[in-house]
Structure 1
Amino acid sequence: MRKKVLFLIILIGLVSASSCVPACSSTDIICQLENIPLQTICILKQDAVSVVSSPAVYGLNNIYDFIITNPPLSGVESVYNDVLFAVESFFIIVLLVSALRLILSGILNAFERAKAKEDVKKVFFNMFLVWVSFDVYNLVTQLSNAFSAFLAPSAQEWSGVIFPVFMNPVSFLILFIAMISLIAALLFAVIRWVLVYVGLFLFPLSLALSAFPVTESFGRFFLDIIIINFVVQIVNALFMRIIVNLISTANFSGILVATGSLVLMILITLSLYLTAVFDAVSGNSWLRRF
C-alpha cells in the first residue's frame, strides 16, 4: 500500500511539472489526480514528437535537397571528353562544308553569299561554345544550386513543419495525398537528375547540330530539354519554399493549401516537360514562347 501511495505521489509530481495542461495548485490533490490521464497522454505525445522529429527533419532535408538540387558532374568529366572529341570531329565536317559553300558563293547570288558567311560565323561561334561547354554547363548547375540553397529551409524551419503534422490530428486526413504527391515529386526528381547528366552530353551536341541547317531543329530540341530541366528546378525550389512556410502556420488550412501546392507543383512540372516534347514534335521551339 505504501509503494502504491509513493508511486502516486511521484506520478503527481511528474505531471505537475509538465506544461501540457494548466497546472493545479500544489495543495489541490483532487485536481492533480484528475489531470493525470491527460498529462500522461500529453507527455507521451511530446516525447513521441521529439523522438520522431530528429530523423524526420534529417529525412525531409535530404528529400528536399534531392528534389531541388543538381547532381555533381565531376565524376563524368572523362566520359564527356570522349563525347567532346566526337562532337569536334563533327564540327570539322560542318566547317569544311560551310567553307566550301563560302568558296562557291562567288557564283551564287548576293543572298546566298551572305547566308554562307553567316553560316561560317555561326560554326566558329558554336565551336568556341563547345570547347567551353563543360565549364558553362557546370556553372549553370552551380548557379541553380545556389539559388535553391538560398531558398532552402533551416533545421528550425523543418522542425516547424514536423510539429504541426504530429500535433494536429486533422492533418492526417490529407497526409495520404501529400505522400502520393511527394513520391511523384521524387520520381520527377529522378528524371531531372538523369536529364542533368544527359544534358551535359547533349549540350555540345545541340550546339553542333544547330550549326548545320539540316539538323538545326534537332539542336533546338536538345537545347530546349536542357533549359526546361533547369526551369523545373527553379519552379520546384520556389514551390517547396512556399509549402514549408504554409505548413509552418500550424493550422489545418495551411497544411491543406501546402498539400494543394505540392500537387500543383507536380502538375506544372509535368506540363513543362510535356510542352517541351510536344513543341519538339511539332517542329517548334519552347524558347520561342518567350
Structure 2
Amino acid sequence: MNTFMGIRSLRAWPAFLQLRKGHQQLRLARLMLQPIFDRRRYRQSHSTKPDKVENFEDTIQWLEEISAGRPCDAAAVQIAFAISAMHTTSELLKQALLDICMHPYIIPVLRDEAQKAVEESGWTTAGVFKMQLLDSAVKETQRLKPGSLDVILPNGLTIPRGTNIAVDSSMMWDPAIYPDPFSYDAYRFLRLRKSGNTAAALASTSPEHIAFGIGKPILPWEIALAKILLTYDVRIPEGTTPKIVEMGFEMLSDPDAKLEVRKRNDL
C-alpha cells in the first residue's frame, strides 16, 4: 500500500525526490528473507542424499531456479508479486462487499447459492462454477469501477519500458452494451451468462469488459467473498453511503468506508 501511495505522490513532485518509505520496507524485506535463503541453501548443500535434494514449491525456489546462479534480488521480486497480487485482490474484494452491502436484498440469495454449491461440490472448481450469481455480482463491481492495466499487444508492437499508457474503458459504461450502465445490478452478468454469452463469467475477458485486460483468462475470486457471506452478517452502518474515489485514471474504493460485521448465529 505504501508503494501505491508513494507512486501517486511522486507523480506530483520532481523525480529527484525518493520513495523513502518504499526503500525502508525493501531493506526490511531483505532482512526478513535472508535467513530463509541461508537455511534453504544450507539444507540443500548438506543433504545426505544428493540425488534427492529438497525442493520448495514457492516463488523463492522458482527464483533460485530461473536465476541459475546469477545475481537476483529475491526480496524485490517478492514485493513486486505482493504489489500486483495482494492490492488488486483486496481492492476488488472490498468494493464487491461494499456494493453487495449497499444492495442488501441480494445477500440472502448469494448466501443460499454459495451454501448449495458447497454442499454439492465443496470448495472446488466445480463448486465455484455453480456460484454464478456471486460471479455476476463481482463482475458488476468491476464494470462500475474499471481498472487500467498495461497490455502486451498481440501484433508485435513494442511499448518502450516506462511509457505511460491508458486503455479506454468507456465501453463498460456504454448504454448500448449495458442498459442503465451507472446502476449496480448483481444479476446483469448472470442474465448474459444464461443467454449463452460465454464471456460473461468473471474469469473471462472480452472487448466489452476489460477490467483486467483482454485475451487471457483471469482467476475467479469468489471463494473469499462466499466464505465471508456464509460465515458473517455484514452491513453498512446506517446513515453512511460509501463513494468511489476518482484520482486521475484510478478509481478507488472509499478509504473511509466501514462495515459492521458479526458472526452468524445460525452456524
Answer yes or no: same fold by TM over 0.5.
no
TM range (shorter): under 0.3
Query: TM-score, normalized by length of structure 1?
Result: 0.26
Higher-Rg member (1/2): 1
